[in-house]
Each structure stands twice: as structure tokens, then as C-alpha cells.
Amino acid sequence: MSKMPYKIIKRFLDVIFSLILLTILHPILFSIAFLIWINDRGDIFVKDPLRIGMNKDEFRMLKLRSMIPNAHKEILNNPKYSELKRKWESNGNKLKIDEDIRITWIGKLLRKTDLDEIPQLINVLRGEMSIVGPRPMYKDEIERHLSKHPKDTRYLSDIFSVRPGITGIWQVSGRNQISFSERLRMDSKYSLNANLLTDIKILLLTPYIVLTRKGAYE
């Protein structure tokens, strides 16, 4: 299948699939949103950082807030989290749920079930994301990685040529067990060779990965 028909069909399926899932899941979404708000009266969605999407356009990836308000800015700028920041940076911007003191009680549940990802279906409807695609990155993590691995720049143009996804080849191939360099390589390869068969395979694998927590850094 040539690229243009594939893109048209994929976009059509993205919209239909997102509408169906939002219709089914909206009671869960509203219930969780209420719990997040009543916990500390803060924002329901994560504000920062902005993600980089197709054609390098920045967008706000909608994600239910599982941490204290402004958690990303706090770990970067608040001396209170200096030790946590050191761990976070030395481990590829990852922390286990039980060691990250920024995570709220409802956030721990969200992290262990991936329910915080549900609002990204709205990003799909907006055209900012796809159901399947490279995991969206943010500017800071790319800059930090490239400062140590400048050769990985060669992967970025391919990755930014397609819409980022809620799920993708990285998520179903090991997630946090995979290095950032390998993740970029995998997402680049997917972007160059994207097709409906590959997307279907990734979609079919995703529920198993979510339920078994395979590759999740917990």
C-alpha cells in the first residue's frame, strides 16, 4: 500500500477508534478526573512539558495528572528534589513509582493501570497524535540525550515525519527495558516502514502489555 492511501485510511481509523473508546471510557475518565481534583484542587491534566509532534510542532499531550502540580518544573528547579533529580537523570528520566515522592495516591493507581493515558484519545481526534506511532518526546529529554549521543540526531527527521502515538513499537517491545538510543532507532524504522499490518500487530499486542505490565518501570 502506498503512503497516501495508508495515511488516509489510518486517519479515518484513528478518528473512529477514538470516538468509540471515548464513548465507552468517558464515565471512567470523569470519575478519575473528579478524584484528582478533590485530592488537592489542582489541575486535572498535566501541564508540562510540551511534546514534539509531527513536523516538530509542539503540543500539549493530554494526560491525567498523577503527580503534584507542576511536577516537571519542580524536579528541575526546586532544591527539595535535588537528590530525586540526580536519580531521575542518571536513570534516563525514569523513576520507580515507590521512589518518586511527587506521585499522589491516585497517581499510583493511574501509573499501574495506564489509565492516565485515556485523554490522549482527544489528541488523536485533534490530529496531534495517532493511536499507533512513535512515543512523543519533549524537548528537554531530546537535548539531554543528544548532548551525550549526538549521532542519534539522524533518527529524528524520520520520527517527526509521522504523528506520535498512544501506543507504538517501543511500548510493545520492552518499554523501559529499552535504552533511549534503541527507542529512537526503533521509532525511526517504524516511521520509515509504517503500514496497516504493523499497526494492527502493535494494537493487538498492546492490551497484553498493559495488563501484564511488561517492561513497565515500577
Please write the tens of the pLDDT for every residue from 23-74: 999 999 999 999 999 988 888 998 778 999 999 999 999 999 999 888 888 8
Whether 12 is in a domain gets the answer yes
The total of structural domains in the chain comes to 1
Instruction: With respect to residue 116, please indicate whether it lies within any of the assigned structural domains.
Output: yes
Please report whether residue 47 resides in a domain: yes
Cα–Cα distance for residue pair 200/204, rounded to 1 Å: 6
What local confidence, expressed as pLDDT, does residue 69 receive?
Answer: 87
Three cell numbers, residue 55: 513536523
Q: State how far the Cα of 215 lies from the Cα of 218, in Å rounded to an integer.
A: 9
Predicted pLDDT at 216: 63
Q: What is the dihedral of CA 184, 168, 138, 217, to 10 degrees?
A: -90
Segment among 37-41, 120-124, 165-169, 204-208 with least mean pLDDT: 37-41
Written as nine digits, the cell of 4 is 497516501
Q: Is 217 a domain residue?
A: no
1 pLDDT above the threshold of 70: no
Model-wide pTM > 0.85: yes
User: Using 50, 70 and 90 to split pLDDT, how confident is the model at 177?
Assistant: confident
Answer yes or no: is 186 within a domain.
yes
The whole-number pLDDT of residue 73 equals 86
| SS3 of residue 50 by DSSP | coil
Containing domain of residue 54, as a range?
3-212
Q: What is the mean pLDDT of residues 100-105?
A: 90
Contact of 49 with 138, CB cutoff 8 Å: yes
**Does residue 213 have a pLDDT over 90?**
no
Question: pLDDT band at 206, cuts 50/70/90?
Answer: very high
> Can you tell me which residue has the cell 527495558?
177
Residue at 218 is within a domain? no
Q: Please work out, in degrees rounded to the nearest 5, the angle formed at the alpha carbon of residue 170 by the alpha carbons of 22 and 14.
A: 30
73: left (phi over 0), alpha (psi -120 to 50) or beta: alpha
Closest of 135, 139, 116 to residue 182, by C-alpha? 135
Return all residues near 98 (Cβ < 8 A) that are at least 6 apart: 218
First vs last C-alpha separation in the chain: 39
CA distance 166 to 206: 10
Percent pLDDT > 90 in the chain is 61
181, amino acid identity: S
Is residue 215 over pLDDT 70?
no
- 199 pLDDT higher than 90: yes
Confidence tier at 16 by pLDDT (50, 70, 90) = very high
What is the structure's pLDDT at 217?
Answer: 58
Average the pLDDT over 144-170 and give the result.
Answer: 95
**Residue 89 pLDDT exceeds 90:** no
Of the candidates 158, 63, 73, 72, the one whose C-alpha atom is nearest the C-alpha of residue 111 is 63
Mean pLDDT of the chain: 90
